[in-house]
Every structure is written in C-alpha cells, then in structure tokens.
Structure 1
Amino acid sequence: MARPIVARVETAPAPVDAATRLEIFSRLAKANPEPRAELDYGNAYTLLVAVVLSAQATDRSVNLATAPLFAIADTPEAMLALGEERVRDFIRTIGLFNTKAKNVIALSRILVEEHGGAVPASLEHLRVLPGVGAKTASVVLNVAFGVPRIAVDTHIFRVSNRIPLVVAATTDKVQAGLEAIVPEQFLLNAHHWLILFGRYVCKARRPECPRCPIADLCRYPMKTA
C-alpha cells in the first residue's frame, strides 16, 4: 500500500468560493469534455491491475508492460494460470515488480475465491486487496463503476492546495474536502480533470500559468509569467 501524502501546505489564501468553483470546473470540462484515464485497460479487472502496477511508476511504463500481459491474461483466472513468475517477467520494467507480481497474483486469487472472479464495486472489499488501498479503490470505483469519488494523488493534492479548492495537509483530507465541495454535475469526472490539469499544466516545479485556462480564478501567489 502506498504511503499517504503528508506535506506542508503551500502558503495560500482561503479556498475559492462556490461560484468560482463552478466556473473552474466549467472551464476544465469545456477544455476536455470526455476525460479518461491514461492507463490502458479492457475491463474492471485489468483496470484494477493497471492501477496497482502504477504505484511509483509512470502510466506509460505500465501500458508498455501490460499490453502483452493483458493480451493473454485479462481475467483473474487467466492471471492465476499464468503464475507469479511469468507475471514478474512481463512487468520487470516497472518499479517494485517483485512485490507487485505477488500482489497481482494474491488479489487475483481473492477475486476468484471470494468474489466469483468479479471485481467488487465496494470500497470496503477493494481496499483490503493486496496492493490496493483506498486511493486505488477510489480510482477503480470511479472509472469502472461510475462512482463519483476523487482519488487524490500528488497532482491533485498540489492543485487543490494551490488554487486553492481545499487546503489540507493529507490526501485523505483533500479527498474528503473535494468530494464535499465539487459541484455535483462535475463530481464524476473531477478526478480526471484535476489529475490531467496537474500533470500537464499546473506542474510541480514550474506551473504553466500563461496557458492555464483558470489563471484568472486561481489564487496561487507564485504564478509564472
């Protein structure tokens, strides 16, 4: 399970008001009407495996490894038949591949033995699977089952505290805060909009403020020229 992000919150004014939040998400939605995960997957199971493998790895590296893996094992039964050693060979280019191979086999076994081979649409059942935890469970619920949850990674954590939408020092608090204040009509896709915004525009070291669609709404005091 990945360690929760706990950080000193960057100095920022009070969070934006409801009207500003509505405008922020309206603009993000207009810029990307149909956002989607950048991990490649074909069903709820391969999404779950891909998200587990993506911990401390790039989506691109995961996609390169899982393309041949999912071509022959896109169900927990097929993954179990493949076995840990062969799974490890497929994902050797991904960080922590030994532990991740063990987790993929272990979670696949639980899915077969306890859930009839299906991925459960339940936070409680998902978060106890090996290598999963709350963040991965939230991603799977959101993407695979259409549950309006916001899984907070480093990008969303940074963006939320910068704008700021929610000012908090842990990912759990940011997630709870965002899920409480994001306008309902945008809640389902908010995870995608915020992570893509943080990954490609509101970058960690040098945010690209001149091309930011919400620069005039953002209260971040250290905007780039």
Structure 2
Amino acid sequence: MSAETVARWNAIPLNRPDPDESSQPSLKRTRPEDGDDDESEDNVSLVSRTPSPPPPDAMEIDKYDEYYRHRPEREVITVETKIKSSNIGFSMLAKMGWVEGTPLGLSGEGRVDPIPFNIKNDLTGLGKATQDVRMIETTVSQRRELDSERQIRETEEQRKQREEAVARRAAVKSEISSVLRPFYCEVCEKQFQNVAQYDEHTNSYAHHHKVRFRDMQAAQRASRNTKEEA
C-alpha cells in the first residue's frame, strides 16, 4: 500500500456527524396548496373513519317470559266452527241482506252447512270402496242358481230328464273306466289315457323306484315273519 493511500485512509473521520433535523425528509403527507382535491390522492381513503354502529340489544329473558305468558291462545278451527261476524265475507253478505243460518242464493235453496268430508287413513284411491261395493252387489244379483234351488221349482218331467241325464253320465263314466283299466298303474295309482303314456310311465325311473321299494318292504316283512315263527 502506498503512502498516498494510507494518508487518504487516515483522513476519513471516524465519528459521523449527526445530520441536521431540517435535512431529514418528512414522513407526513402534505396536502397540495392549490386546493385541487380531484387530483389528490387523499380523496381515496382505504380505512373508513366512520365509527361502527353499536350492536343491537338482545331481547331480555324477562321480556320473553312475559310475552310467553301473555301470548294469545291459538284458536282450533273445525268443521263445526262458525264464521265470526268480524269476518270480511260475513260482513259483505250481511250488507247484501243475508241472515246467519239461512241458505244462500236468490231462491234460498243453497247449502246451510259446509260440505262434509271424511279423512282417509288407507292407501286406496278415491272411489275404490264404492266400486268394490258396486261390484259385490252386481255379483250377488247375477249369482248362478244352485242345483237345490232349481230342483225345488222343477216339474215332474224336468225331474225325470235330470235323472236320465245323471244316469247317462254315470254309464259313460263306468264305460270309460273299464276301457282305460288296462292303462291303470296299481303301483303308482295313476290312470293313463293311451298305450304310449302307460309305456312311458312303466319305463320311467319313478315307477321302477316304487317297484323296488315295494319289493324291499315285502322282503323285510317276510324276514320278520320267518324270525317270529322260528
């Protein structure tokens, strides 16, 4: 380091003098002197200077209790409840000459009491009960006469015709049974109408199973009888 550099270094004062207060910049924002408020930044206030309104007072418990004790009672209105004279419609009808308890209309043939109604507690549609009653009445009125009722009113000739028809049906049934007797399976206790049905049944597993079961029961009974005799 040269001697000239050392001399300049030593010439620097170690204690920095205090700056003059007048030379310090002001932190306060000054208003313009020309009075032009439109172009001034002070017109825009980021924080409202108006104080907030106080919160409303809550309803006191004593006032609520007093109101609850002296509250007006609710009126229960039913079908039997009559309209009071203070009602607007009541007063309008009264001005036109209507008297309470008399029917409406010029001829005086209107209703006096309100239209009645019934409360439905089921899930069926409207008119379903009436429809069921009507259908039952129609069915009963169109009921077919019993044989006993017809036999009471029949004549002697009608009785003979009826007995002959019954005898013919019995004869036909007996003849059919005798014809179909070969197609009857005594093991399964089933009646078949033709040979094909009977052969199909006798060759089935169900038929052979019942036959084997019957033979097994017969063998067991014979074995027990043999042991008892011995």
TM score, norm. by length of structure 1: 0.15
More helix by share: 1
**Larger RCO: Structure 1 or Structure 2 (Cα < 8 Å, ≥ 6 residues apart)?**
1
Pick the structure with greater CA Rg.
Answer: 2
TM score, norm. by length of structure 2: 0.15
